Amino acid sequence: MTDARYVLWVDDGDGVWRGIDGQNELRYLNHSSQPNAGFDGPELYALRTIRVGDEITFHYGDEWEGVD
């Protein structure tokens, strides 16, 4: 089994990439190929009904960078 870790990086326009320290709200978003939330600019919106207790998911994208 390989160790697969992913980070969601978001540039909010001020030159700071969010997600690097894991201390913001993005840490609660998990990847899904069928997400229930998505971004419109810096705002996160529900793509369908999200009930109490549901995991909030977002499609991280199809571009991946390897880490040496």
Q: How far is CA 33 from the centre of its chain?
A: 12
Describe the chain by its helix, strand, coil percentages, rounded to 5. Answer: 5, 25, 70
Q: What was the pLDDT predicted at 45?
A: 92
Q: What was the pLDDT predicted at 54?
A: 94
Q: Amino acid letter at 63?
A: E
Q: What was the pLDDT predicted at 1?
A: 47
Counting as low any pLDDT under 70, the low residues of the chain are: 1-24, 63-68
d(CA 25, CA 5): 18
Q: What was the pLDDT predicted at 10?
A: 62
